[in-house]
Structure 1
Amino acid sequence: MKKIYIKLVLILLFSQGIKAQTTSNCEFVYKLETIASPDETSNADKFVTLNWDFTQVGSKNKNIKIEIIPILDCYKNENAKHYKETLFLTIDGKLNTIKGSKVFKHIEMMSKCFKYRTLITSNSCEKSSDWNYYSFIN
C-alpha cells in the first residue's frame, strides 16, 4: 500500500512540475487602434488607418501578427459567418515595422466591414486578443 501511495505522490508532484513549466505570463502591452477617414469622405472613398505600436512587446523571439477578416454580412458585427479571405500583417521589423500603420480602403477590400485581432507567439506562450470590429459605413 505504501508503494502505491508513494507512486501517487510522485506522479502528483511530477504533474505539478510540468504544469509550472508550461504556464507563463502571456500578457503583452501594445497599442492597436483604427482611425476613420474624415466624415465628409464619400462612401466609395472611405478608408481606415490601422495604427500599431508593439515596442513594449519587442520582436526578439516573438512572432507578432495582426489578423484581419473582411466580413460580407456586416449586420452581425464580429459574429458574422460570411467572410472573405483572411489577411495577415506580420510585424517583423522589415515590411511592417514594430511601430507603424497601414491604410485599408473600403473599395479595395470589397467589404463594408472587417474584424481584426492580434496574435503574439513567443517561446513560452501564444496569445490572441479579442476580436475588434470596424465598419466603413456608420
Structure 2
Amino acid sequence: MRVKLLLALMLFTMSITLKAQETKSTCNFEYSVEAQKNPEGLDYENRFVNFKWDISKLSSNDSVSIEIIKIYDCFTGINGTQTEVYTILDLKSKDLINKNSLNIKHVDMIAKCFKWRVLLKSDSCLEEKDWNYYSFID
C-alpha cells in the first residue's frame, strides 16, 4: 500500500512539473528588434550586422536585451556548435539608451555566424523569444 501511495505521489508531482513547462508566455511587450544584413559587395572582413530596434513603447521598468552566441559550424545553421562565450547587449544600458541601432563587424565578433534572441523582463513577466540565425557568409 505504501508503494502505491508513493508511486501516486511521484506521478502527481511529475505531472505538475510537466504542465508548468508547457505554460505559454502571456507577456504583452510592444517592441521590435531586427538584424539587417550589410550591403552586398563588401569584402569579407568589412561585413557587419546592423541590429535595429524600437523599444519606445516599453515601460521604464522593463528590461530588454539581445543575447548573442557565436557558432563554430555555420553549415548546420542554428544548431551548429556553440562557443562557451556569449554576449548580452542591454538595450537600456547607458551606452545604448539613446540609440536605436548598433553595427557589429564580422572582425570584431571573430565568428562567421551566430544565433541571437531577445530577452524581455518586467516586474511580473519574463519572455525569451525564439532563436534567430545570422551568417556573414554569402
TM exceeds 0.5?
Answer: yes
Contact 1:44/1:106 (CA < 8 Å) preserved in 2? yes
Q: Give the share of equivalent positions with the same residue, in percent.
A: 37
Contact 1:91/1:98 (CA < 8 Å) preserved in 2? no
**Distance in 2 between residues matched to 1:73 and 1:33, nearest whole Å:** 23
In structure 1, stretches of 5+ residues that fail to align are: 1-22
1:45 equivalent to 2:46? Answer yes
1:110 positional shift: 0.9
**Per the alignment, do residues 65 and 40 of structure 1 end up closer, same or farther by CA in structure 2, a change over 3 Å counting?**
same
**Distance in 1 between residues matched to 2:113 and 2:134, nearest whole Å:** 6
Aligned residues: 115
**Distance in 2 between residues matched to 1:24 and 1:49, nearest whole Å:** 28
- Across the aligned residues of Structure 1 and Structure 2, the Cα RMSD in angstroms comes to 2.0
Rg larger for: 1
**Distance in 2 between residues matched to 1:86 and 1:71, nearest whole Å:** 10
Which residue in the other structure is 2:75 paired with? Answer: 75
**Distance in 2 between residues matched to 1:112 and 1:24, nearest whole Å:** 32
Alignment of 1:19-38 (within 5 A): 25-38=26-39
Moved more, 95-104 or 120-129: 95-104
Which residue in the other structure is 1:126 paired with? Answer: 126
Which residue in the other structure is 2:3 paired with? Answer: none
1:84 positional shift: 5.0
Contact 2:32/2:54 (CA < 8 Å) preserved in 1? yes
1:98 positional shift: 6.5
The code of the aligned residue for 1:44 comes to E
The code of the aligned residue for 1:81 comes to T
1:41 positional shift: 0.2
**Distance in 2 between residues matched to 1:38 and 1:56, nearest whole Å:** 29
Residues 52-76 of structure 1: per-residue CA shift (max 9 Å, x gap): 1111223x22121111111111111
The code of the aligned residue for 1:119 comes to L
